[in-house]
Amino acid sequence: MLDTQAASGQDGYITPDGRKIGGVAMEMRNITLRFGGVVAIKDISFDIRWGEIRAIIGPNGAGKSSMLNVISGFYHPQEGEVIYKGYRRPKMRPYQVARMGIARTFQNIALFEGMSVLDNIMTGRLHHMQANLFQQALWWGKASREEDENRAQVEKIIDFLEIQHIRKTPVARLPYGLKKRVELARALAAEPSILLLDEPMAGMNVEEKEDMCRFILDVNDEFGTTTVLIEHDMGVVMDLSDRVVVMDYGKKIGDGTPDEVRNDEEVIKAYLGVAHE
């Protein structure tokens, strides 16, 4: 059983399964986000530690996706600040946030439908390619070299996620489950420090869910990628995550290990529901 006191210390903690969790990677401080009169997020603070799988759960409309959008720079909170790698992050455009090593997937798949799987994943490696317009136009020097180096990296991810057979297929032709996997591949291709997953299991069957769980755990294990996860499948959340934030109506109502959250009165009332005898 994990002690929450230890988790809030500076040097991280060891998970029950023996993984070492590092210091604070990102800290949300008193975030408040309003859309006109509607308060989507109200004064929420929590931290994300290096190497952990952090889940955000809550009923529909609780503000989970808004929170992810704040992290990825798509929304700018009216109050509060985001501390990333020890520094207060200034107001940034989403593409600048992406360049700082934050990649994400979307609740409703946001792949580039007109491109092949390979091109989609290669797009994720954008920041690892520096050739300028003229080098690319002449396919000279850096341009062709980078293309091959990055292709090799992308192939590793393709192997890792077991999508070799659909490499050249246009994304529009893929079934839903595979699209979700390609989207994960695209996010991974950026070699992110923090990976944000917005409902990665939504609409999947049991088998696909199991696959996806395995991939998320493997990614965390092999690359040590810090993962922030929104998910409604409680079994998945409780199994995968190291710590869980619970939100309801834009407020934080719980934060802690899966066991702590599961037994929290308020969380049960708001979200998990009471078991009827």
Partner 1 sequence: MLYREAGDFKTSYVADSQTFPIRFDRYGYYFLLGFAFLVMPLVINDYWANAIVVPFLIYTIAALGLNILIGYCGQLSLGTGAFMAVGAYGCYKLMTAFPELNIIIVIVFAGFITASVGVLFGLPSLRIKGFYLAVATLAAQFFLIWLFTRTAWFYNYSPTGMISAPTREVFGFPVTGPRASAVSMYMICLCFLVVCAWLARNLTRGSLGRQWMAIRDMDIAAEIIGVNPLMAKLTAFAVSSFFIGIAGALLFAVYLGAAEAGEAFGIDKSFLVLFMVIIGGLGSIFGAFAGAFFLIVGPVLLKLLLVNGLGWPTDLAAHLEIMIIGALILVFLILEPHGIAALWRTIKEKLRLWPFPY
Binding-site ranges for partner 1 (CB under 8 A):
72, 74, 93-95, 98-99, 103-104, 106, 110-115, 119, 122-124, 126-127, 129, 131, 133, 136-139, 143-144, 146-148, 151-152, 155, 186-187, 190
CB of 152 vs partner 1, minimal distance in Å: 7
| Residue closer to partner 1 (CB basis): 163 or 267 | 163
CB of 173 vs partner 1, minimal distance in Å: 12
Closest C-alpha among 118, 182, 193, 190 to residue 148? 118
Place of tokens 């090799």: 152
Place of tokens 């520096």: 130
| Residue closer to partner 1 (CB basis): 151 or 251 | 151
| Residue closer to partner 1 (CB basis): 6 or 110 | 110
| Residue closer to partner 1 (CB basis): 185 or 246 | 185
Pinpoint the alpha helices (H) of the chain: 4-7, 64-71, 94-99, 117-124, 133-138, 142-160, 176-189, 206-223, 234-240, 258-262, 265-267
CB of 165 vs partner 1, minimal distance in Å: 15
CB of 138 vs partner 1, minimal distance in Å: 7
Give the torsion sign (CA, 113, 114, 116, 120): negative
- In this structure, the number of other CB atoms found within 10 A of the CB of residue 94 comes to 14
